[in-house]
A and B are shown apart, each in its own frame.
Chain A
Amino acid sequence: MSSTTSPDLIGPETAHAVLTAIQSVAERSFFAAVEPCDERAFGELAVKVSRWLVATVRFEEGPLVGSMSCTLPEDLARALFDAFTGGHPSAPAPARDQVLDLVGEFSNMVCGAWLSRCASDWTFKLRPPVVEPVLQPLGADGLQLFVVVNDRPLALALRLLEPAFPAAAGAKA
């Protein structure tokens, strides 16, 4: 499958819509503040990070097929976990699987919030998130957005692919 970037979807309007989605998710469910930042500011924060997690959600919405990835420091994931579950920072550390699940759900919500707005006439499918450690945020061949969440860096990458399944392109819900 080849990767393609659509000028209609990988542009300023999409970047704004994705930023709105991540702000909505972070504020409503994780009580976290999100501010956009440029690549340089992101880089300055990123050099202080030793452990990263990336959560990737594959989506299909009508003819739109692609993936969204959120890359964030492990300590931010832990902070989001505490906010989401109402846990106290002094409570015992959660199991690693729980943190990975939480990061996956965060990415799932951001992707869903964006898709719900960008093409509301279509239902969509989200594949279960894949969460894994990475040494550093990966470059994207589509849209890349840098934000600061509670003073910690988070990179979001949106890639659009050609429809993997012919039915996805023609089956309007």
Chain B
Amino acid sequence: MSMENKLKKVLLVDDSQSTNFFNKMIIERTNVSENIVIAKNGLEALEYLQSESVPEVIFLDINMPVMNGWEFIAEYQKLKEEYKGSIIILMVGAELNHEEKKLAESIPEIREFNEKMLTKKVVCDIVDKYFSYSTIELYSKR
């Protein structure tokens, strides 16, 4: 992982402390991001997005109290363009059912589904896919 590719900020949105602890550690170990921020639900994440700088990647859990993942996305879509620069990875605890799958596919902001518990490989693959030079080029052209 080269230093030029290092991300500024990654946002983990999950109510489970254990998951947040594990995923934060995995991302730290892959050393792809300077900052790792944690929000406990959708509402916290929204507030963060509007008060701080926008993270490159958001790892979003679905089942959360106060505001769940779907509700968060609905609100996210209403935000000004300046707050909407993130790649959203939907974190899935168990397999999605048919309706959930359809709903997720219909939302363009969701780029990936992933197992809740990250692995180093998954993190590296995401960064490689969306933030390597060539990828950035492709992405910016689009």
A binds B: no
